[in-house]
Amino acid sequence: MNSLVCFCNGITENEILTALKKGAQSTSDIQRMTRAGTSCGKCLAVIDSLVEEYLAKIPVDPQQKIKFDL
Protein backbone atom coordinates (compact mmCIF):
# COMPACT_ATOMS: atom_id res chain seq x y z
CA MET A 1 0.00 0.00 0.00
CA ASN A 2 1.38 3.41 -0.90
CA SER A 3 -1.37 5.86 -0.13
CA LEU A 4 -0.82 9.58 0.12
CA VAL A 5 -0.81 10.64 3.77
CA CYS A 6 0.28 14.26 3.60
CA PHE A 7 -1.45 16.03 0.74
CA CYS A 8 0.30 19.35 1.37
CA ASN A 9 3.78 17.91 0.95
CA GLY A 10 3.01 14.86 -1.20
CA ILE A 11 4.30 12.34 1.35
CA THR A 12 3.15 8.74 1.06
CA GLU A 13 2.69 6.05 3.67
CA ASN A 14 5.73 4.24 2.26
CA GLU A 15 7.92 7.31 2.77
CA ILE A 16 6.78 7.51 6.39
CA LEU A 17 7.46 3.80 6.91
CA THR A 18 10.91 4.26 5.37
CA ALA A 19 11.64 7.06 7.85
CA LEU A 20 10.50 4.79 10.70
CA LYS A 21 12.81 2.03 9.46
CA LYS A 22 15.65 4.56 9.41
CA GLY A 23 15.07 5.27 13.10
CA ALA A 24 12.28 7.83 13.45
CA GLN A 25 10.73 7.42 16.91
CA SER A 26 8.03 10.08 16.89
CA THR A 27 5.80 12.24 14.75
CA SER A 28 8.31 15.08 15.17
CA ASP A 29 11.03 12.84 13.74
CA ILE A 30 8.74 12.08 10.78
CA GLN A 31 8.13 15.80 10.28
CA ARG A 32 11.85 16.54 10.35
CA MET A 33 12.81 13.65 8.07
CA THR A 34 9.99 13.85 5.47
CA ARG A 35 8.28 17.27 5.95
CA ALA A 36 4.96 15.39 6.32
CA GLY A 37 2.66 17.25 8.67
CA THR A 38 4.60 20.50 8.51
CA SER A 39 2.00 22.58 6.65
CA CYS A 40 -1.73 22.44 7.53
CA GLY A 41 -1.34 19.63 10.08
CA LYS A 42 -4.47 17.74 9.04
CA CYS A 43 -2.43 14.58 8.48
CA LEU A 44 -0.84 14.56 11.94
CA ALA A 45 -3.39 12.11 13.39
CA VAL A 46 -2.63 9.64 10.59
CA ILE A 47 1.12 10.07 11.12
CA ASP A 48 0.64 9.54 14.88
CA SER A 49 -1.21 6.28 14.14
CA LEU A 50 1.47 5.05 11.73
CA VAL A 51 4.20 5.80 14.29
CA GLU A 52 2.27 4.08 17.11
CA GLU A 53 1.50 1.01 14.98
CA TYR A 54 5.09 0.71 13.81
CA LEU A 55 6.66 1.17 17.25
CA ALA A 56 4.22 -1.31 18.81
CA LYS A 57 5.48 -4.02 16.44
CA ILE A 58 9.16 -3.54 17.29
CA PRO A 59 10.40 -5.82 20.04
CA VAL A 60 11.86 -3.81 22.91
CA ASP A 61 15.34 -4.66 24.08
CA PRO A 62 14.93 -5.27 27.85
CA GLN A 63 18.31 -3.66 28.50
CA GLN A 64 17.02 -0.37 27.06
CA LYS A 65 14.12 -0.28 29.54
CA ILE A 66 16.55 0.02 32.44
CA LYS A 67 17.48 3.59 33.26
CA PHE A 68 20.10 4.31 35.84
CA ASP A 69 20.24 7.69 37.49
CA LEU A 70 23.78 7.68 38.80
CB of 45 to ligand FES, least distance (A): 10
By CB under 6 A, residue 37 contacts ligand FES = yes
Q: How far apart, in whole angstroms, are the C-alpha atoms of residue 37 and residue 11?
A: 9
Taking the least distance from each CB to ligand FES, the nearer of 32 and 67 is 32
Q: Please identify which residue in 7, 18, 25, 45 interacts with ligand FES, judged by CB under 6 A.
A: 7
By CB under 6 A, residue 34 contacts ligand FES = no
Closest by alpha carbon to 20, among 44, 45, 56?
Answer: 56
Q: CB pairs under 8 A, 24+ apart, for 64-69?
A: none
- Helix or strand (DSSP H, E) at 35: none
Q: Which residues bind ligand FES (CB under 6 A)?
A: 6-9, 36-43
